[in-house]
Amino acid sequence: MDSSHVENDLVNILFTEEQIQQRLAEMALQITEDYEGRDLLVVGVLRGAVMVMADLARSMPRHLEMDWMAVSSYGSGTKSSGVVRILKDLDTDISGRDVLIVDEIIDTGLTLSWLVNNLSSRNPASVEIATLLRKPEALSMPVEPKYVGWDIPNEFVVGYGLDYRERYRNLRDIGTLAPHVYS
Ligand code: 5GP
Ligand code: MG
Ligand code: MG
């Protein structure tokens, strides 16, 4: 592996591809049980949730529909700007539908608390959240994800959909970046 290989920028791997797949399979099983007999619409939050959505959805042996929303609360760096904007709205009318929002990480919870409010105002039958990761800060926000992969320390992580300046989304594992990347 030469030094330009993207994996070399990770200093600490928190979750390997295998661990992620294992955890998503467990979550998928639980979701499948909970939504038995109901018509499920899974909403992925672009762009970070693409990988989680693809793997979680394929772990569910049931019919479901997928739609996508793009919202922006972050600039290009590592801090939230505090303002949420819809960049791409749903194509689906969710009134009367059971909606499960799929996201890759909850940090401050700002994005998802805003999104839950926004979707709830469209009269769905239910709105729940599944997130692969959650940081402790999220506990202070009015966001209660029904499904959480793991709680993680308050560090900036990348990989498996999570970016730093739009890079690293394509890593199979999740980890933290070497200091040289930021300088
Ligand atoms: P929140 O609104 O919960 O603070 O942030 C949600 C969004 O911020 C996530 O969907 C993700 O795009 C971004 N984000 C929060 N924490 C991290 C992190 O540790 N790494 C990366 N790459 N993105 C993060
Ligand atoms: Mg996200
Ligand atoms: Mg990002």
The larger pLDDT score, comparing residue 128 to residue 7, is at 128
DSSP bridge pairs for 126: 98
Mean pLDDT of 79-104: 91
> Is 107 tagged catalytic?
yes
Q: Ligand 1 within 6 A of 158 CB?
A: yes
Give the integer Cα–Cα distance in Å for 135 and 137: 5
Q: Residue of the nearest CA to atom 5 in ligand 1? A: 107
Mean pLDDT of 106-127: 95
Measured from the alpha carbon of residue 156, the closest ligand is 1
Name the pairing type of β-strands 147-151 and 40-46.
unpaired
User: Considering only CA atoms, which of 178, 25, 47, 176 is closest in space to residue 104?
Assistant: 47
Tokens of residue 18, six digits: 């295998």
Q: Ligand 1 within 6 A of 129 CB?
A: no
Atom of ligand 1 nearest to the CA of 84: 2
CA of 39 to the centre of ligand 2 (A): 24
Give the integer Cα–Cα distance in Å for 44 and 50: 7
Name the pLDDT band for 75 (thresholds 50, 70, 90). Answer: low
Q: Ligand 1 within 6 A of 160 CB?
A: no
What percent of the chain is predicted at pLDDT more than 90?
80
Name the pLDDT band for 138 (thresholds 50, 70, 90). Answer: confident
Atom of ligand 1 nearest to the CA of 168: 22
CA of 70 to the centre of ligand 3 (A): 11
Mean pLDDT of 142-155: 96
Atom of ligand 1 nearest to the CA of 156: 19
Residue to probe by mutation, ligand 1, list 140, 162, 174, most atoms within 8 Å of CB: 162
Mean pLDDT of 111-139: 95
Name the pLDDT band for 1 (thresholds 50, 70, 90). Answer: very low
Question: Is residue 78 predicted with pLDDT exceeding 70?
Answer: no
pTM across the whole model? 0.93
Model ipTM value: 0.96
Buried b or exposed e, range 143-164, using 16+ CB within 10 angstroms:
bebbbbbeebeeeebbbbbbbb
Domains of the chain, each with CATH number or no CATH: 16-154 (3.40.50.2020)
Question: Is residue 120 predicted with pLDDT exceeding 90?
Answer: yes
pLDDT at 6: 80
Q: Ligand 1 within 6 A of 21 CB?
A: no
